[in-house]
Amino acid sequence: MELNEIIKDAPNDVTIVESIVITHSKLKKYEKILCSISGGSDSDVLIDLCQKYEEAKKITYAFFDTGLEFKATKEHLIFLEKKYGIHIERIRAIKPIPLCCKEYGQPFLSKQVSEWISRLQAHNFQWEDEGLEILLEKYPNCRAALRWWCNDFEKSDSGRESSFNIAYNQYLKEFMIQNPPKFKISNKCCYFAKKKVANKFKKDGKFDLNIYGVRKSEGGARRSAYKTCFTSNGEEGDEYRPIFWYLSETKKVYEEHYNIVNSKCYSEYGLKRTGCAGCPYGKNFEEELQSMKKNEPQLFAAVNNIFADSYEYTREYRNFVKQKRDNNR
Ligand code: SF4
């Protein structure tokens, strides 16, 4: 279909029309394009947007399999392949998540928090409530993590706590002093199961454009690092985020207009996100576990085994916060 016909057929929404026009020009301009697919609802819109054009044949679609994927996601990939007549490469993790967790430790709370805790654990930190200078003497070469522990970063002008301070997570320091972690914590599984494998695939493929289904309104560190839908990276290959400016409402308009079908994770399991099943970073991991128990019991058993300590520690922390808040009322 020609661009003007696609626009004529598009919903009456400026953001969507702009994304159609820009995607068209990017697909025309670049020759070797990688599009990362997660099987989630954002990537459903992404594929549909790209597949409107003849030039979509320049795209290699890739799904990075972390080893903890819902069966429903894998089935959905097959559905997408049939629907659009495409092939999606399945790329396996360099080290699957279960192995990473065993070797380096389990993820806890967030990527950043896990990083600081793992550094402190590597220095055999004893979770003591001392000032920065004293701790720096006792644990040299661990400055950044100790600054986090000691809340050494300034608050913002509006009085907001810095995300580089432990106080960014309310009562976490008090909790950890009273309940030091008895298991290894690490954010390495993201690195080995996702980042490293994706970087290697990109490098080996020498793609000149990398397309991601990232939306600014979703928040998160990765998204706030981007200012626009495009990043020029020179030889490493440019990056384009076609649905960067889509709000949830924009996405809904797109989905309804083009009859987008999401995976069963959304329509049957009632999940709000996909990705690594049961990741302890998820705010709603408890709800996710309940749904998994009912719909994918084998996966439920697996994640409870892999992330057992992290789930337990997170539950203890959440109870601790609740009690503190109740006492302060
Ligand atoms: S998203 Fe969670 S489970 Fe998946 S690799 Fe990262 S930390 Fe591990």
Distance 44 CA to ligand 1 centre (A): 21
- The strand pair at 59-65 and 33-37 is best described as parallel
DSSP string of 114-150, one letter each residue: HHHHHHHHHTT-------HHHHHHHSTT-HHHHHHHT
pLDDT band at 155 (very low <50, low <70, confident <90, very high): confident
Question: What stretches of 10-160 adopt beta strand conformation (E)?
Answer: 33-37, 59-65, 88-92
| pLDDT tier for residue 17 given thresholds of 50, 70 and 90 | very high
Report how far residue 31's alpha carbon sits from residue 193's, in angstroms, rounded to the nearest whole number.
28
pLDDT at residue number 2 = 86
Joined together, the tokens standing for residue 35 give 């599009």
Can you tell me the distance from the alpha carbon of 41 to that of 39, in angstroms, rounded to the nearest whole number? 7
pLDDT tens-digit readout, 111-154 = 999 999 999 999 999 999 999 999 999 999 999 999 999 999 99
3-state DSSP helix/strand/coil percent for the chain, to nearest 5? 55, 10, 40
Q: pLDDT at position 90, please?
A: 96
In the predicted model, is pLDDT for residue 318 greater than 70? yes
Other CB atoms closer than 10 Å to residue 277's CB: what's the count?
29
CA proximity to 49, closest of 5, 11, 19: 19
Residue 190 CB less than 6 A away from ligand 1: yes
- For ligand 1, whether the C-beta of 193 sits within 6 Å is yes
What type of residue is 79? F
Distance 139 CA to ligand 1 centre (A): 29
> What gap in Å lies between CA 115 and CA 226, rounded to an integer?
22
Give the model's confidence band at 302: pLDDT under 50 very low, under 70 low, under 90 confident, else very high. very high
Which domains occur in the chain, in start order? 3-95+191-260 (3.40.50.620), 109-180 (no CATH)
Strands 59-65 and 88-92: parallel
Which of 60, 178, 109, 76 lies closest to 117, judged by CA?
A: 109
The tokens 């890739």 sit on which residue?
62
CA-to-CA distance for 316 and 174, rounded, in angstroms?
Answer: 12
**Average pLDDT over every residue of 164-183:** 97
**What does pTM read for this prediction?**
0.90
Amino acid identity at 57: K
Q: How far is the CA of 107 from the centre of ligand 1 (A)?
A: 7
- Average pLDDT of the chain? 94
Look up tokens 């493929």; give the residue.
Answer: 205
**Contact between residue 173 and residue 26 where contact means Cβ atoms under 8 Å apart:** no
DSSP one-letter string for 256-299: HHTT----HHHHTT--S--SSTT-TT-TTHHHHHHHHHHH-HHH
Cβ of 189 less than 6 Å from ligand 1? yes
pLDDT score at 114: 98
Using alpha carbons only, what angle is made at residue 260 by residues 254 and 264, rounded to the nearest 5 degrees?
135
Question: What is the 8-class DSSP label of residue 181?
Answer: -
Residues 204-230: pLDDT tens digits? 999 999 999 999 998 765 556 788 999
Indicate if ligand 1 lies below 6 Å from the C-beta of 198.
no
276 lines ligand 1 (CB under 6 A): yes
Residue 276 Cα to ligand 1 midpoint, Å, equals: 6
Q: State residue 222's pLDDT score.
A: 57
Ligand 1 pocket test, pick from 276, 289, 292 with the greatest ligand atom count within 8 Å of Cβ, gives 276
The 10s digit of each residue's pLDDT in 21-45 is 999 999 999 999 999 999 999 999 9
